[in-house]
Amino acid sequence: MASIDLNSDLGEGAGTEGEIMPFITSANIACGAHAGDERSMRETLRLAIANHVAPGAHPGYRDPANFGRVALQIPAAELTADLIAQIETLRAIARSEGTDLVHVKAHGALYNTSQHDETVAAAIVRAVNRCAPECVLFVFPASAVERIARAEGLRVAREGFIDRAYEPDGTLRSRTQPDAVITDPERAAERALWFVQRGGVVARGGGFIELAVDTLCVHGDTPGALAILRAARAALVSAGIGIRRTG
């Protein structure tokens, strides 16, 4: 039976964690750089444990003023060290709560840059390999970070986004552009089915993009995120598709 993981970026101040957690299988928890603090990390971890959701680290550029959504020019060694510090901060809290991290997913501009920038991609892979090599790394399909992660022996989960628009070249539409974020639950649910059943998604302009994925994301700060997740999960289950965590 076909199956898919459902993930969400949480602990970022949106306040939707309690509502969203029952509908996902993986939670990407902000580690204090772009958002989050010890309290939010601990509270989100406890919700994940209570709902049997796989907890993961969601490190990003250390730039809370821009919510980590602006690419920064940082030396590779410095970036790797900061990502390790973020992951280890969350891991220490997780272990104090009796659990451990299952996956790592870069946030925002860091995630987007790692699609094509070999230096940034390598910095992410190096950080995970040094402090959490047993974790699954969430990656954009066919990206630089996926290639490097596989070459370095990391397990990866290819990710699709049902609340974001794709450009014809397969990249995510910039949030600065109109219609970048999809808030209609039915439209998002249809995209979830396309990803799993047809192996891709319809881009702006109507063309089909092949994107094989293992996990589907709905951002916790997307307007109507709960309704989107409800609709997507219901559509997947109705189609006989299992909802299972990646790790």
pLDDT tens digits, one per residue of 130-154: 999 999 999 999 999 999 999 999 9
Gap between the terminal Cα atoms of the chain: 18
**pTM: predicted TM-score of the whole model, two decimal places:** 0.97
What is the average pLDDT value for the chain, to the nearest integer? 97
Q: Map residue 122 onto helix, strand or coil.
A: helix
Per the structure, how many domains does the chain have?
1
Phi-psi region of 108 (alpha: psi -120 to 50; beta: other; left: phi over 0): left
Give me the CATH number covering residue 114: 3.20.20.370
Confidence class for position 244, pLDDT limits 50, 70, 90:
very high
Tell me the per-residue pLDDT of 19-68, one tens digit each, with 9 for 90 and over.
999 999 999 999 999 999 999 999 999 999 999 999 999 999 999 999 99
Domain of 92 in residue numbering reads as 3-243
User: 17: burial class by Cβ within 10 Å (0-12, 13-18, 19+)?
Assistant: buried
Over residues 189-238, the pLDDT tens digits come to: 999 999 999 999 999 989 999 999 999 999 999 999 999 999 999 999 99
Secondary structure letter of residue 83 according to DSSP: H
Q: Are 60 and 85 in contact (CB under 8 A)?
A: no
The conformation of residue 197, written as its DSSP 8-state character, comes to I
Task: Tell me the mean pLDDT in the region 63-78.
Answer: 97
Average pLDDT over residues 6-13: 98
DSSP string, 144-170: HHHHHHHHTT--EEEEEESSB-B-TTS
